[in-house]
Structure 1
Amino acid sequence: MNIDALASFVKIAELRSLSAAAKLYGLPKSTLSLRLKQLEADLNVALFERSGRNLLLTEAGQTLLKHARQILQNCDAARAAVSEVSEDVAGTLRIGATGEFGTAFYAQMLIAFRRLYPNVEIELTFFSPNVLYAAESFDTLDAVISWDEGDGEGEALSTATFALFASSSYVERFGQPQQPADLADHQGIVYRTPAGLQHWRLQKGAAQESVLPRSSLIANDYWTVKYFAVAGEGIAYLPRFFTAIECERGHLVPLLDDWASAERRVSIRLTRPHAPSRKMSAFMDVCRRYFSPGFVFQGPRYYVEAIFDPTQPKEGKRT
């Protein structure tokens, strides 16, 4: 049984589409199709049946998928074991995460790792929280990075606090709130979590407030929430690290400086903590250094910049 064909089969099964798998993994669709046909011929079974635009696994396909994942994991383990006897850190590192801050957080940390260990292949996959810890997802990964809600599992990498931000144009039009009670007079941009709308949970010393603002803009993507804030559409509740560049460049301003959320823990969980590979140990070391005081990230950083806003001709930079 061909390993490349098995790997292609798993990719197609996960995305339920030849076209989507070809696009995501940068492989010719014809190559994936040929490998699939060869695998079906080798096993003398049909592995998929078509339902509209999707490919659904047959009973034989479902059975093979379970074994294929295990076979591929064993192959990776064999490669890792061989690489252990050499000086190079190599192999494939599979990281799972929830996708709140993909480019501003996970991607930067992985690039910092790649600069030191270029022979390691990286697969970063974003899952919804209810899927991330499911056995069929968790068992295919080397580690999971998450923004915990107090479950206390894994090693803490860092902490982050949320606060309130708006564009200077919004503040000029509607004024700056002086206390949480003033937020009732303002327009919010609200993030939708899988459990519902996200309340703005703020504290100052012993005082605590939970605010759900009036809003006509709701999104389940923090980048979209931040874009709407930079565009002057309202106040956003965002992590301070996530707005640092926008604040430095004047595209956002912090509000209610003394009020912020409780610290949220960012952690990493190893799926095989008792036997970490050399590449996993190297990754953990880089993660710890990435969040240590004084670390300077050398690589591209993403942010929202108001280059041109036709409704505010004096604000922003023209190019």
Structure 2
Amino acid sequence: MNTDALASFVKIAELRSLSAAAKLYGLPKSTLSLRLKQLEDDLKVALFERSGRVLLLTDAGQTLLGHARQILQGCDAARAAVTELSDDVTGTLRIGATGEFGTAYYTQMLMAFRKLYPKVEIELTFFSPHVLYAQESLDMLDAVISWDEGIEGGETLSTAKFALFASRNYVERAGMPRKPADLVDHQGIVYRTSAGLQHWRLQKGAAQESILPRSNLIANDYWTIKYFAVAGEGIAYLPHFFTTIECERGHLIPLLDTWESAEKRVSIRISRPHAPSRKMAAFMDVCGRYFSPGFVFTGPRYYVETIFDESQQEKGTEK
């Protein structure tokens, strides 16, 4: 039985869609479809039946799913056991994560790891929280990294605080808010969580404020939120680390000095904590150094540059 076909079957079963699996794992849809057909031909059974746009497991598919996961886990364990005999740190590191700050957070950390351990293959997959914490997802991953909202457990990697930011262009037009009550007169760019619109939760000493600003720009992607803020479309609620470069270059400025959120925890959960592989131990060591005081990241970093407005091109100005 082909393990690539089994792995593709598990991916499709998890998401109940060929298209979704192809998009999430960066594989051609035709490849997944071919592997599924080969597996069904080999077993001489149908593994899925279609219900609208959703693929549902048949009884045979449901039975195979449990066995397929065990087979793939066994293959991974065998591969890890053999590579552990080598002096080099090798193998495949499979990390699952929530995708709030992928390129600005997880990928930079993985880049720092990759520079030290170039022989380790990295698979980073972003999941929505309800898929990420499903047992079947955890079974296929080495570790899970997430921004926790009231979730206990795991090892804390780092913490971050959110604050308010806007472009100078916006502040010149709308004025500078001096206190939280002034935000009622301002335009917000609001992040949508899986539970609804994100409130701006701010505190200063014992004082606390929870604000949901008026907004005609709502997105479930922080990079989009930051882009619109740099473009002068309103005030954004973002973590400090996510706006460092934009603030250094003058594309954003912090508002309401010393008002910020409570600390938000970033954690890692290791799938097999009682038997860590050499690559996982190396990864945890790099994580510890990456988030330690004084660590300087030297790899490429993403940021939002000045937004050029073509309507102002003749005047030679930028927003």
| TM-score, scaled to structure 2 | 0.91
Distance in 2 (alpha carbons) for counterparts of 1:255 and 1:114: 36
Corresponding residue for residue 220 of structure 1: 220
Compared with structure 1, are the counterparts of its residues 170 and 26 closer, same or farther at alpha carbon in structure 2 (3 Å cutoff)? closer
Q: Is the 8 A contact 2:200 2:212 kept in 1?
A: yes
Greater CA drift, 304-313 or 150-159: 304-313
* More deviation, 53-62/150-159: 53-62
Give secondary structure in 1 for the equivalent of 2:214.
coil
Opposite residue 138 of structure 1, the aligned amino acid is L
Specify the alignment match of 1:290 in structure 2.
Answer: 290
Query: What letter corresponds to residue 129 of structure 2 in structure 1?
Result: P
Q: For residues 36-92 of structure 1, what are the alpha-carbon distances to aligned partners after superposition, in whole Å with 9 as ceiling and x for unaligned?
A: 333222212112334555544322122212211221111111111111111121222
Q: Describe how 1:200-239 pairs up with structure 2 within 5 A.
A: 200-239=200-239
Residue deviations 1:247-299 (CA, integer Å, cap 9, x gap): 11111111011111111111111111111111111111111111112222122
Structure 1: 5+ residue stretches without partners? none
- CA distance 1:178–1:315, shift in 2 (3 Å): farther
User: 1: CA distance between counterparts of 2:258 and 2:24?
Assistant: 44
* Shift, 1:163, TM fit: 0.3
Q: State the match for 1:106 in structure 2.
A: 106
- The CA distance in 2 between the partners of 1:176 and 1:27, in whole Å, is 48
User: What residue in structure 1 maps to residue 306 of structure 2?
Assistant: 306
CA distance in 2, matches of 1:152, 1:40: 41
Match of 1:161 in 2: 161
2: distance between equivalents of 1:220 and 1:102? 13
**Closer/same/farther in 2, CA of residues 277 and 187 from structure 1, 3 Å limit:** same
Q: Mean alpha-carbon deviation: is it higher for 40-49 or for 226-235?
A: 40-49
What is the aligned residue count?
317
| Distance in structure 1 (CA, Å) of the matches to 2:149 and 2:115 | 31
User: Which region of structure 1 is more displaced relative to structure 2, 269-278 or 123-132?
Assistant: 123-132
Distance 1:289 1:145 in 2: 16
Q: How much has 1:222 moved relative to structure 2? A: 1.0
| Matches for 1:120-135 after TM superposition, within 5 Å | 120-135=120-135
Q: Which amino acid aligns with 2:303?
A: Y
Change (3 A) 1:32 1:15: same
Distance 1:21 1:195, change over 3 A: closer
SS in 1 for 2:131: helix
Aligned residues of 1:201 and 1:209 also touching (Cα < 8 A): yes
Shift in CA distance, 59/285, structure 1 to aligned 2, threshold 3 Å:
same
Structure 1 residues 144, 2: closer, same or farther in 2, change over 3 A?
Answer: same
Pair 161,276 (structure 1): closer, same or farther in 2 beyond 3 Å: same
2:61 is matched with 61
Indicate yes or no: 2:141 matched with 1:141.
yes
Moved runs in structure 1, 4+ residues, more than 6 A?
none
Alpha-carbon distance in 1 for matches of 2:51, 2:209: 49
Asked if the contact 1:98–1:128 (Cα under 8 Å) also holds between the matched residues in 2, the reply is: yes
Q: Deviations over 1:85-123 (max 9, x none)?
A: 111212221111111111111111112111221222222
Which deviates the most, 68-77 or 234-243?
Answer: 68-77
- The Cα shift of 1:24 comes to 5.4
Query: Is the contact between residue 156 and residue 267 of structure 2 (CA under 8 Å) also seen in structure 1?
Result: yes
Q: What is aligned with 1:11?
A: 11
Look up the match of 1:90. 90
Q: Secondary structure at the match of 1:216?
A: strand
- State the percentage of identical aligned residues: 83
Moved more, 225-234 or 129-138: 129-138
Alpha carbons of structure 1 residues 24 and 149: separation in structure 2 relative to 1, 3 Å? closer
2:302 corresponds to 1:276: no
Distance in 2 between residues matched to 1:100 and 1:187, nearest whole Å: 22
- Structure 2 segments unaligned to the other structure (5+ residues): none
Q: Where does residue 265 of structure 1 map in the other structure?
A: 265
